Amino acid sequence: MPGKNISNAARLSPDEIILRDELIADVRTLGADIGERNMSRYPRLKMAADFIESSVAQAGLRPRRDSYEINGLACDNIEAEILGTDPRIIVIGAHYDSVFGAPGANDNGSGVAAVLALARRFARKQPTQTLRFVAFVNEEPPYFQTPQMGSFVYAGHCKARGDQITAMISLETIGYFSDVPHSQRYPSPGLGAFYPTTGNFIGFLGNMRSRALLRRTMSIFREQAELPSEGAALPSFIPGVSWSDHWSFWEHGYPGIMVTDTAPFRYRHYHEPTDTPDKLDYDRFALVVSGMEKVIVDLVGVSH
């Protein structure tokens, strides 16, 4: 639906306006007050971890640090679990580090703000399946797709415990939209023939093994959400398909998908010092998150 204009607040419900304001506040904390946060800005990485932990606790959940060391420095994944009556687990995750030289408002302050907002909304619900919200450390280079990537360590711990993870959803750079023609690019030119060339949609990506999860997620999202969405299950060798924490779960045999605004294929501030909070479209970002709330309700089953 190119040109569909939803950039005004009128299309947001009262709940979505509250949600949008939470997203604005949390992206500002991560992408402006804290700013660049990674192993070369270690005190800032710790500040981000503390912020996430206290936000989760304020939501009424009990945060737990899943930690490991790099060069003697503690690296913390932060998780909060809502136990279901069913031992199967759904993981909703986002990385909280930023790439060197960038404040990471969209990549991935947006994903973390979404995880926090969703954690608040599920904190008082009783899911059937177990639900875990996780903020991952060290997604960006030089740890990207290595055994020191935070989500890889985390997924390894899950595997070792025999956790039955039926779905992992990675929220990766989800706050930038454009109505400008040809604002959307693709890793291979052929894809542009099948998908929109205006960057006003949210994307869903999975590998072939995660096709069923991808289809279900997209069909629920499309029933509920006012935002256009596109998605595909693609071979993981296509550039971009594996570029986030869902990859770590694939590597451990779990199904996973990524929700993304397509990051480098749309957002010119990707991995730049200019990835600041003012670049995001918070109305559409809120529609992504409220749509995902409904997806998660369906995936886990909620009794009240």
Which residues between 173 and 202 bind Zn ion (CB under 5 A)? none
Whole-number Å distance between alpha carbons of 263 and 256:
18
Q: Which stretch binds Zn ion (CB under 5 A): 13-21, 25-33, 103-111, 125-133?
A: 103-111
Cβ-closest position to Zn ion: 107
Q: Which two tokens stand for residue 54?
A: 């206290």
Q: Which stretch binds Zn ion (CB under 5 A): 8-16, 104-112, 152-160, 227-235?
A: 104-112
**Do residues 229 and 222 lie in contact, with contact meaning Cβ atoms separated by under 8 Å?**
yes
Which residues between 280 and 299 bind Zn ion (CB under 5 A)? none
Looking at the Cβ atoms of 61 and 112, the one nearer to Zn ion is 112
Whole-number Å distance between alpha carbons of 261 and 289:
12
Given candidates 22, 79, 97, 107, which one binds Zn ion under the rule CB under 5 A? 107
Q: Is 87 helix (H, G, I), strand (E, B) or coil?
A: strand
Residue holding tokens 């946060």? 37
Q: Which stretch binds Zn ion (CB under 5 A): 7-15, 99-107, 148-156, 285-293?
A: 99-107
| Shortest distance in whole angstroms from residue 44 CB to Zn ion | 16
108 belongs to the binding site for Zn ion (CB under 5 A): yes
248 belongs to the binding site for Zn ion (CB under 5 A): no
| C-alpha dist (Å) from residue 71 to 40, 68, 115 | 12, 10, 29
* 162-198 burial code (b ≥16 CB/10 A, e <16): ebebbbbbbbbbbbbbbeeeebbebeeeebeeeeeeb
Q: Which stretch binds Zn ion (CB under 5 A): 25-33, 77-85, 100-108, 287-295?
A: 100-108
Q: How many residues contact Zn ion, by CB under 5 A?
A: 2
| Shortest distance in whole angstroms from residue 15 CB to Zn ion | 28
Helix axes 211-224, 282-300, angle to 10 degrees: 120
- The binding site for Zn ion (CB under 5 A) comprises 107-108
